[in-house]
Structure 1
Amino acid sequence: MTVSDTERSASDDLERATEVFTSVRPRLFGIAYRMLGSVGEAEDLVQEVWLRWQKYDRDTVENPAAFLATSITRLAINAARSARARRETYIGPWLPEPVDTTADPHLGAERGEALEFAVLLLLERLSPTERAAYVLREAFEYPYRQIAEIIQLNEPAVRQLVSRARKHVRTGRRTPVTRDEQRRLLSTFVTAARAGDLTALEELLAADVISYSDGGGRVRASRFPVVGAPRVAKFVKAFAPHFWAEVDVAWTEVNGQPAVLLTRDGEPYTLLAISTSEEGIHEVLWVMNPDKLTAAAAAVAAD
């Protein structure tokens, strides 16, 4: 084989490797994002898998998609362990980084599981291995046998992990209202919040509502969750004059649900989302950390 033939063969091989990787990339990102709740960290892991895939002896891989899914999951489990340690020193409440779901509603998943803010927050309380088993089964419908191979446990143990995670999510998650009703509730909340209307706010909120403000120490934000309808309503009313001054409101979609991006002087300021049920708004999520607003801002700019 001539040098030219060798180079051509290597180029063709890399092209095939690129095609395979590109075809499964949305799923790889979807797994990593659901595991970590961070767009940046998920992208970093996808890039790491790509680099490993280029260097790997691909002739030994019978099922490239399974190989790549295994690689991203194991990396995500390790990253989640490190992230848990970092979040113990995170300043104030931690919220997932909003991800734009207008282009890909389920981020490569067969099902949209573990994408809503409410579910991602519940999964944070699971061990990384439990989270991986749940995500692979519920979002991507992997068979238990394959999940066992990926996370290196036996099949009965995997079934137990998934069952335990399902119960945790089912217990903690309330039945959401329709998308239209959620949008109406968020719109009404924004109107009441801007006006500092205490009565209107209390009428919207579930009795045990929790307000989380994620500033990450980068901007001024409440460092503790605010709990209970009266306290949350008073909290929102108290900062209304300063918070909403000269703020523009743009509707967007993140994590498969309606949200609003607040901007001031053209700069992203806050991403506001809510979790709802028939009882009203039971979570108010203020994503204020500038590092977490990039994807949401890009989605609004693209509209």
Structure 2
Amino acid sequence: MSSSLDIAELGAIDTIIDAAIAEDLAAGDLTGRLTVPPGTAARGRIIAKQDLVFCAGPVAQRSFARVDPQLSIALRAREGASVRAGDELIALAGDARALLAGERTALNLLGRACAVATLTRRYVDAAGEGIRVVDTRKTMPGLRALDRYAVRCGGGHNHRNDLGSGVLIKENHIRCAGSVRAAVAAAKANAPHSVRVECEVETLDELREAIAAGADAALLDNMSDATLREAVAIAGPKGERRVLLEVSGGVTLERLPSLAGMGLDLVSVGALTHSAPSVDISLLFEVGG
């Protein structure tokens, strides 16, 4: 089954893969070299041992290929597909030593991506159509491209990628600038015309100040449901107001349906990438071509 993944979406994915391989194979695979006769052929299956959302199959495929380009690696699941425990995800064949050498890197990257995609799908399903679920920059260091791709595989959306790709004025920026109004005004005066200016606010007065200063989006931080409803009333109806409303902080799966019905635009969830629980996947071997 083919995948819709374009490796270009993941940026320098080979740099990530090569670093992971070097971390695991800098001195070679001692156990494989000592126990597996040269030229031994094997077939393998990566299977799901739990229900999950499949993500980054081509990354696992590429990881094995970096170890040995002669390996045969066939994807059995589609990117973003929900798979069941026991389903085959990837079929492999070739030199047994090479398969063993690439196993951990491939499973680590695949498992990480599937974990993020699976958790994201749960949040997206809980939110329904009423609000867009987005990630944050609370990603695994060095794996941001993979984490963000996995969020998309799970049906979520991406926030700004890095500090240079958007303006998000937060509490400490406001303290340095002197006020919400001063911070927003400075950003609006100097930001590129193509960049939205978003400002984090913790009170309704700060929201009013941000709107008056011309903020394009407001990040409503750690507000109760009652306060969020007041914030929507201040900003105006969805589709008619000129400021996007994003809610962050204290967002749980149980709370999402309520948030989705308030008329908010976005909910950002750091847990998608900083707290995704590991998924259970395994590579099973069969010796012989």
- Pairwise TM-score range, normalised by the shorter structure: under 0.3
- Bigger fraction of residues in helix: 1
Q: Give TM-score scaled by structure 2 length.
A: 0.27
Q: Give TM-score scaled by structure 1 length.
A: 0.26
Larger radius of gyration: 2
